[in-house]
Amino acid sequence: MDQLPLPLEGITVVAVEQAVSAPFATRQLADLGARVIKVERVDGGDFARGYDTAARGLASHFVWCNRGKESLALDLKDPRGLAVVRRLIADADVFVQNLAHGAAARLGLDAATLCAAHPRLIAVDISGYGGSGPYADKRAYDMLVQCEAGLVSVTGTPERPVKAGIPAADIAAAMYAFSGVLAALVRRGTTGRGGPVEVSMLEALAEWLGHPLHHTMHGGEPPARTGLAHAVIAPYDAYPTADGGRVLLSVQHDREWRRLAEQVMGRPELGTDPAYATNAARVAHRERTD
């Protein structure tokens, strides 16, 4: 059977990007076959290049987020450098930027301006807190957004909140930018028009916190920080074993509980015991014994 081309072969993406959110979004596009031209600063390039040297002398974040791309360094404050970017954009299908708030607009590289000039272009603005509002001008580093969105309120232990061990806010924004570009490409295929895509780290991560939000709004209390355990599912944790180790159990529904009781623990009566037979009963039992 003939090998199919990658889905985005023939698509050109220009990205004025740095750190994680925009680079991770455009890396998804590169993985699907798009040509991604990454524009970096002339004074050291994408600052994520300097995070560490763990990946054979290169920064691990940078290697993770930038495979499969082409790169050039331009001074966008120099009219000659800005002219180069504009020529690249004129021939591109997608433009992505995550500059500091207001910087893209001052350069005429914001989504609204570019889409007005290039109707077929899909232009993506990725920001920390959105294009307007009281937080628009604030620095939006991943840990700060994890706090503002409430992620740390449900991550950690009862004694201590912790941030996620990965840049969750950056990744959330990147994936919504990625899906937004794909949707806009489909629309352009039927209408001939591209259009703007706007994504903020705060809104993206807040969407991922839908379960704790609904739990709090409708249940009256926020989910507790439970370490490896789950606030509303049991058994779901790391449990001590007789040999001093720990075993991870994740039971998603009552049928799995019955199979665990019968086939793993050899205790089929637990599958029908009212104290354990339903997830709600197991959660209540756990809370009584904690």
Which is nearest to 230 in space by CA: 206, 207, 211, 210?
Answer: 211
Cα 233 to Cα 236, 284, 290, distances in angstroms: 6, 10, 15
Q: pLDDT value at position 170?
A: 97
Based on the residue annotation, tell me whether 170 is a catalytic residue of this protein.
yes
CA pair distance 171, 177, nearest whole angstrom? 10
Q: Which residues of the chain have pLDDT under 70?
A: 290
Report the candidate in 45, 51, 87 with the shortest Cα–Cα distance to residue 69.
45
Residue 255: per-residue pLDDT? 92
What does the alpha-carbon distance between residue 175 and residue 112 come to, in Å, rounded to a whole number? 21
Residues 155, 60, 167, CA angle at the centre, nearest 5°? Answer: 25
> How is domain 12-208 classified at the architecture level of CATH?
3-Layer(aba) Sandwich (3.40)
- Contact criterion met (CB below 8 Å) for 42 and 75: yes
d(CA 95, CA 181): 10
CB 167 within 8 A of CB 175: no
Pair 64, 73: CB distance under 8 Å: no
Evaluate whether 200 touches 130 at the Cβ level (below 8 Å).
Answer: yes
Parts of the chain belonging to CATH 3.40.50.10540: 12-208
Paired residues of 246 in beta bridges = 240
Provide the pLDDT for residue 225: 86
The one catalytic residue in 125, 137, 170, 243 is 170
State if pTM tops 0.95: no
| Residue 235: cis peptide before it, omega within 30 degrees of 0 | yes
Residue 290 pLDDT: 66
pLDDT value at residue 248? 86
What is the per-residue pLDDT for 2?
79
Phi and psi torsions of 35, nearest 5°: -85, 120
